[in-house]
Structures are given as structure tokens and as C-alpha cells.
Amino acid sequence: MTATTLTAEPPPLSEPRFHIPGNKGIWAGITCEFVEFTVLFAVYFIARAHFPEAFHSGAQRLSVAAGTTITLLMITSSYFIACSVNAIRQDKQRAAIIWLIAGLVVALGYPVTKALEIDWNLAQGINGESGIFFTVYYYLTFTHLVHATWGILGILWVLARLSFHGYSSSDYAGLEALASYWHATDIIWLVIFPMFYVLA
């Protein structure tokens, strides 16, 4: 056995093959979000089972165009935010900022579209007292809008940090956490959309 063998450094440990994006805090929040909406979805199906005619006739009065627009906005903004994460992984700071700004602009279209939809609903005489279908509809969609608003505020915070080089290819957990939350909110909307605008 030579001195070279004795002093040889051990081989570097390989990086873990699977990586959970974000951090524990954001996944705790996402879990709470899923639990909350699971309860709300249960309320939807119970109400629908008891009042099938109200759900069938109520769905005919909603604006499918508004629901479809929100769906496209959510999917597109999720894609742009994912592109921002991919860019920062490659240390492309400027590209990451541009993609995140694009995601923010598209995401802001959601509350704008929702406001226009509500205005249209009220003009048609549709409010929270128009029947059980609309009570459930407003409660579920408003709750989702609140979660999306938190996500938009998160985008603003992460964008500010990203603009001041708060993230790099070696440390971008905050950006990943944002993307994870926004994708989760997107998935929930993809469940809400057919429940109210298509299948009902």
C-alpha cells in the first residue's frame, strides 16, 4: 500500500437523482390549498346531487368564453413561469426576468377577466342569491381568485429579488417555490373549469 493510496481523496458523492422543487414551507401551503379545495369540491358534488336541475340550468347561464379565457391565461402564465425557472437554471438572468415578467402580465389577465365576467353576470341578474348553483359557483371561484392573487403577489416579490440578482443557477429555490404554487393553483382551476362551465 503506497502513500498515494492512503492520501487519496474519496470520490465525490453523486447528486440526488430526484429533486423536489421549492421548499418545505411552500409544499405545506400547497397541501393546505389542496385540502381546502377538496372540501369545497365535496360541497359542490353534494349540492349537485341534491339539486341536479339547478346545476344544469345554472351552467347554461355562465359565460363559457370567460371561463375558457381564464383557463388559457392560467396555462400560459404557468408555461412562462416554468420557462423562467429553466432560464435561471442555466444562469440566464435576463431571460429569467423576461419570462417572469411575461408570466406576470398574463397572470394579471385573470383578475381582469374575472372582474369583467362578474360585471357581465350582474348585468344578467346573476348574483350569489340566484340559487344554490350560483352560491357554490361564486364561493369556489372567489376562493380560487384569492389564491391566485396571493400567487400574483408572489410573482412580484420573486421578480423583485430576481431583478437584484437574488437567484442564481446554484440558488433558485424561491423561484421554484413560486412556480410550484402557481402550477398547483393552475391545476385547481383546470378542475373548476369543467365543473361549472362544461360538465354541469
Which residue segments constitute the domains of the chain, with CATH numbers given? 24-198 (1.20.120.80)
One-letter amino acid at 82 equals: A
- Contact partners, residue 57, CB within 8 Å, separation at least 6: 133
Query: What pLDDT sits at residue 14?
Result: 47
Q: Which residue has the cell 372540501?
A: 39
Give the DSSP letter string of the chain: --HHHHHPPPPPPPPPS----S-HHHHHHHHHHHHHHHHHHHHHHHHHHH-HHHHHHHHTTS-HHHHHHHHHHHHHHHHHHHHHHHHHHTT-HHHHHHHHHHHHHHHHHHHHHHHHHHHHHHHTT--TTS-HHHHHHHHHHHHHHHHHHHHHHHHHHHHHHHHTT--BTTB-HHHHHHHHHHHHHHHHHHHHHIIIII--
Q: How far is CA 63 from CA 55, 127, 147, in A?
A: 15, 14, 22
Tell me the pLDDT tens digit for each residue of 66-84.
999 999 999 999 999 999 9
How does pLDDT run across 144-186, given as a tens digit for each residue?
Answer: 999 999 999 999 999 999 999 888 888 888 999 999 999 999 9
Between 118 and 12, residue with greater pLDDT: 118
The pLDDT score that the predictor gives to residue 9 is 53
**Residue 40: C-alpha distances to residues 29, 68, 137, 197 (Å):** 17, 21, 10, 17
pLDDT at position 21, please?
Answer: 74
Provide the pLDDT confidence category of residue 5 given band limits of 50, 70 and 90.
very low
Quick: pLDDT tens for 12-60: 544 456 677 767 889 999 999 999 999 999 999 999 999 999 999 998 9
Which of 48, 35, 18 minimizes the C-alpha distance to 136?
48
pLDDT for residue 171: 85
Whole-number pLDDT of residue 3: 47
